[in-house]
Chain A
Amino acid sequence: MPLALDLATFRAVVTTIVPESSALDEQGWRDFDQVVEALLRGRPESLKRQLRLFLRAVEWLPVIRYGRTFSRLHPDARVRILAHLQNDPIQKIRVGFWGLRTIVLAGYYGRHAAARELGYCADPRGWEARP
């Protein structure tokens, strides 16, 4: 898992971006990690480095304002931090957040179980499979 060293930060980001992920059980997190791992497999090492760097910045930036790291913040404060990154005037920071957000959304909504939970059940049989 390329983000294993920053797992606490990453999980805190995940539960902020997709609040219902906090209800994932162990199997759910394993599935999540598998999707993220598959997504990052074969990607350039430089991209993975940037991702880890960005995560560390997310973890430590709040210390300046809140005196706590991101993973120790109250959920409302985490939302404010991520919203700030999303709206940052510097495009590279917005793009960094966008990349992190994309990985989180893929990990959560790319799981088969998530589709079922949403009620999304597209079927190759199409109309014939209509309940």
Chain B
Amino acid sequence: MSFFFQELVNGITTGALYALVALGFSMVYGVLKLLNFAHGDLYMVGAYIGFFVIQLFGGAADLSIAVPLLLVIMFVVAAGLVGGLGVAIERFAYRPLRDAPRIAPLITAIGVSFFLESSALLLFGAQFRVYNTSEFISLNSGIRIGSVTIDSVQILVLVLGLVLMTGLRMLVNRSRLGKQMRAVAADREAAEMLGINVNFVITATFLLGSALAGIAGVMGGLLFNTVTSTIGFIVGLKAFTAAVVGGIGSIPGAMLGGLVIGVAESMVTGYISSTYTNLIVFGLLIVVMLVRPSGLLGRAQLQKV
């Protein structure tokens, strides 16, 4: 039984990470109907920023500031810079194509993804950058219940992930900006006619979604230690799948989708074999999509004819 709980903890932690990235996918799709394939690369940029913040304060083995303060700075700087990068991408790469056929921004998103990946390779080099998290957060500093271990980084990821997802849900459901986002998502032209500043809402959506990806990047760096220019691809793919499974455009759906994929991966690896993880997990997802084409929490769209 303890094996089950260990795999559950591992799966939920990874799932929380997927969910945070999936939220950005889902939010952008909700307001723009754009599949932003560059979103996984924003995760990569966030991970690099976290790494360089650690270096700025002396490196993992010789930190010049307290660890809690370091973590706050890492998350804030990554959220700010990656959020800003997301806004810049929207402003210069996607906005000029807003009224173009939908294939154009889609191709542009793929181009932006390669641009970010190649730029990171040129700027930061091919070598792996390593967080060395265990140098400043002890591997034994978490909770141990029987043989189930939940280390401090996993706890941090779970708690912060939950706080951010709850906060985002409240923002979208209860704030004025959230109401505007929902209005733009429902009908952009009608929202504009009602006096909503659509450009501002879209910019805010990119800012929030990208900031979450940046924070997820730092979380990924802390959890998995390794940063290279290519890490965004696989996380982006999983997060995109999570968003679709949960119901793209649905914020609770993205959260649920992320957790479902994370836990499914973990359980298949643990109980069957890692060899078949992708085969079985994505096979299950195909079944889910066949049964519920709009995703687990997505709503079927009415189409005017």
Chain B binds chain A:
no
A positions within 8 Å CB-CB of B: none
